[in-house]
Amino acid sequence: MRTTRSMLAGIDCVISEPEFADATTSTIICLHGIGGDDASFAPQSELLSDQYRVVVWNMPGYRDSDRLEQLSFQTLANSLAKLLDTLDCESVHIIGQSIGGMIAQEMFHRYPDKVKSLILVATTSAFGGRDDSFKNAFLEARLSPLESGMTMRQVAESAMPSIVGSKTEQYLITSAINSMSALGANVYRQVLACLVTFDRREEWALINCPLCLVAGSEDTNSPAATMKKMAEKLPHAEYHEIEGAGHLINLEQGKAFNSIVKSFLHGIN
C-alpha cells in the first residue's frame, strides 16, 4: 500500500492505494461528516486500500482545502465532480457519512454518470421535518456553545462522547475530537447552515445505482429505524445495522464496516 497527501482541484485529500495500482483499480471516494476530516476514514484508508484506491477528501474549508464563498449542496457536488475529473475517474464508489452521505446523494442526482455505487452511512434523505421548528432548534443547540465563548476544542470535547456508541475505544474518540477541533468556527457555522437545507426526500426513489445503507444501533442523530425505512423503499438497497455503533460508524467499528463494504463491492465488481 502507498499513501500520499495531495491538493487536487482545491481539495486537500489523502490517497491510499495498492502498491501496483493501475487504470483497472476501482476508486472509492470517502466523504466525512461535519466534525470530521480525512482522519475520520483512517480504517478505510488502511484496510480497503489493499484492493481499491481510497481517496478521502477534506470538505471545502476543512484542513487545507479551499473554502467556498457560497456553500451549498450544489457547490459541494460541483467541487467533488472537479476532484473526480482531476483524478481522471469516470465513475467511483462513494462512501458518505452524515453530511457526507447527503453530498453523496446530491452527487448522484447531479452527476449520475460519475457514481458507480453509494454507501450511505449514518445519514438521511432530508434534514429534519417538513417545517422549520426542528431546524431552528438544531441550529440553536449547535451554535449556542460558540456564542457563549466555547472554543471548537471545547465544543468537540463536549459533543463527541455523546454521539459515539458504547463499544467505541477511547483513542478513536480522541481522534474524532482532534478532527473536529481543527475545524474553524466560521466554517462550522457555514456548514451547519448548509446542512439544514438538505432535502432530497422526493428524489430518494430515483436512486437506481447499487446502494448500501449502514446504520449504528446506538446512533441518535441518524437513527437505525429511519435508515431501515429508507432502505425498504428501494428494493435493490442493502441495509446493515452494526450493533453498539453510534454516529461515527466507519471510524468506531472499522473492521465490521469494512467487511460490509468489501462484500457489497464484491457483488458489483
What is the per-residue pLDDT for 31? 99
Alpha-carbon span 214 to 191, nearest angstrom: 23
What is the per-residue pLDDT for 269? 63
Query: If we measure between CA atoms, which residue out of 38, 37, 46, 32 comes closest to residue 14?
Result: 38
C-alpha cell at 255: 473492521
Give the pLDDT confidence of 213-236 residue by residue, as tens digits: 999 999 999 999 999 999 999 999
Give how far Cα 218 sits from Cα of 61, 63, 157, 226, Å: 30, 29, 19, 12
Query: If we measure between CA atoms, which residue out of 119, 137, 110, 111 comes closest to residue 29?
Result: 119
pLDDT at 91 over 70: yes
Alpha-carbon span 87 to 80, nearest angstrom: 11
pLDDT confidence tier of residue 133, bands split at 50, 70 and 90: confident
Are residues 32 and 100 in contact, defined by beta-carbon separation less than 8 angstroms?
A: yes
Taking the domains of the chain in order of start, what are their residue ranges? 2-266
What is the per-residue pLDDT for 227? 98
pLDDT confidence tier of residue 134, bands split at 50, 70 and 90: confident
Task: Give me the mean pLDDT over the 174-179 stretch.
Answer: 98
Give the pLDDT confidence of 6-52 residue by residue, as tens digits: 999 999 999 999 988 787 899 999 999 999 999 999 999 999 999 99
Are residues 28 and 52 in contact, defined by beta-carbon separation less than 8 angstroms?
A: yes
In words, the CATH class of domain 2-266 is alpha beta
What is the per-residue pLDDT for 20? 82
Are residues 183 and 153 in contact, defined by beta-carbon separation less than 8 angstroms?
A: no
Over the range 182-203, which residues count as b (16 or more CB within 10 Å of their CB) and which as e?
bbeeebbebbbebbbebebeee
Give the pLDDT confidence of 117-130 residue by residue, as tens digits: 999 999 999 998 77
* Single pTM value for the model: 0.97
Alpha-carbon span 149 to 159, nearest angstrom: 15
Alpha-carbon span 168 to 173, nearest angstrom: 7
What is the per-residue pLDDT for 203? 98
Q: Which residues contact 117 (CB under 8 A, 6 or more apart)?
A: 93, 94, 209, 210, 211, 212, 264, 265, 268
What is the per-residue pLDDT for 21? 79
Alpha-carbon span 26 to 63, nearest angstrom: 26
Average pLDDT, the chain: 96
pLDDT confidence tier of residue 132, bands split at 50, 70 and 90: confident
pLDDT at 115 over 90: yes
Give the pLDDT confidence of 182-200 residue by residue, as tens digits: 999 999 999 999 999 999 9
Q: Which residues contact 218 (CB under 8 A, 6 or more apart)?
A: 165, 166, 244, 245, 246
The answer for 98, left when phi > 0, alpha when psi is -120 to 50, beta otherwise, is: left
